[in-house]
Amino acid sequence: MTSLKRLYVLLCGFEILPKTVSTRGLGGRFILSEPVCAYLLDTDRGWVLLDAGLNPANGRDRARMESRFWSQKMTPPVIRDAHLLETQLANVGVAFGDIRHVILSHLHYDHAGYLGHFTHARISIQRREHEHAFGAEPGMAYFRDEYDLPGLQWDLRDGDWEAQPGLRLIDTRGHTSGHQSAIVTLPEEGTFVLPFDAGDLAENFDGEILPGETCDDAAALQAIRRIKAVIADEQAQCLLFHDPVAIQSIRLCPEFYR
Ligand SMILES: [Zn+2]
């Protein structure tokens, strides 16, 4: 049983990163251009957004690029007009106001950039992630001014949960203290796993290689193995969020999975 109809993959831009950000201790001299995604679901209960994209100001506003990236010896993301969330949503006739439910994998800046547009929506997240992100010094990849906003309606979750028939969220903490991944079941094409940052690249799963940043190495490895088990047990397809090779063969909005 599923209440889902379509899955759209939204490509929100690219991050320019040392490979070690994705693969612990491996490939330090390589710089990757990693895609950032978000996912839009057309469901019997309305539109659902999984993750909230990349704030375009991080790649366009020079003061922000200096304070958030260059001053930290990081490169700002590349966000072209075609990557803007509003542009891609408009291509399928959807406005921010039409989306009543946003589910976040975690609160790193490349997953939460458009949250300010969703004060009318329910924002579901793991309680542990929310607590960490709103605590003192959550870490460099948390841009507090993009999520600590008045009017956001937080829906805090503990562990695995089902958002609606065909949309399951599983606890994959380890990359961050409250990371969750999604399992999406579509009526025709079956089950898809969306790992988000549990593993950025195919090799994280193939070789069980830890992400560069974790809060708990054992939990992060368990998350990778859990996702592999779901893929095997449910004969699911895996849509990687940050893999620069895989993204080139993923169907992008306005195309969709059904
Ligand atoms: Zn992350």
State residue 225's pLDDT score: 98
What are 124-168's pLDDT values in tens digits? Answer: 999 999 999 999 999 999 999 999 999 999 999 999 999 999 999
Give the pLDDT mean for 186-213: 97
Q: How far apart are CA 43 and CA 99, in angstroms?
A: 11
CA 175 – ligand 1 centroid, Å: 7
pLDDT-based confidence at residue 122 (cuts at 50, 70, 90):
very high
State residue 253's pLDDT score: 98
More confident residue, 1 or 175: 175
Cα Rg of the chain, angstroms: 17
- Residue 9's Cα: distance from chain center in Å? 11
CA 99 – ligand 1 centroid, Å: 23
Give the pLDDT mean for 216-222: 98
Q: Is the pLDDT of residue 208 over 90?
A: yes
CA 212 – ligand 1 centroid, Å: 10
pLDDT-based confidence at residue 28 (cuts at 50, 70, 90):
confident
Give the dihedral sign, CA 166/219/226/205.
positive
Helix (H, G, I), strand (E, B) or coil at 128: helix
Residues 6+ apart with CB under 8 A from 54: 12, 13, 36, 77, 79, 83, 109, 110, 113
CA 100 – ligand 1 centroid, Å: 24
Q: How far apart are CA 21 and CA 32, in angstroms?
A: 10
Place of tokens 């809060």: 215
CA 112 – ligand 1 centroid, Å: 10
What are 53-69's pLDDT values in tens digits? Answer: 999 999 999 999 999 99
Give the pLDDT mean for 170-194: 98
Plot region of 13 (φ>0 → left; ψ -120 to 50 → alpha; else → beta): left
Q: How far apart are CA 78 and CA 126, in angstroms?
A: 29
Amino acid at 127: R
State residue 38's pLDDT score: 98
Q: How far apart are CA 68 and CA 65, in angstroms?
A: 5
CA 213 – ligand 1 centroid, Å: 8
Give the pLDDT mean for 93-113: 98
Helix (H, G, I), strand (E, B) or coil at 141: coil
pLDDT-based confidence at residue 210 (cuts at 50, 70, 90):
very high
Q: Is the pLDDT of residue 255 over 90?
A: yes
42 strand-pairing partners: 6, 47
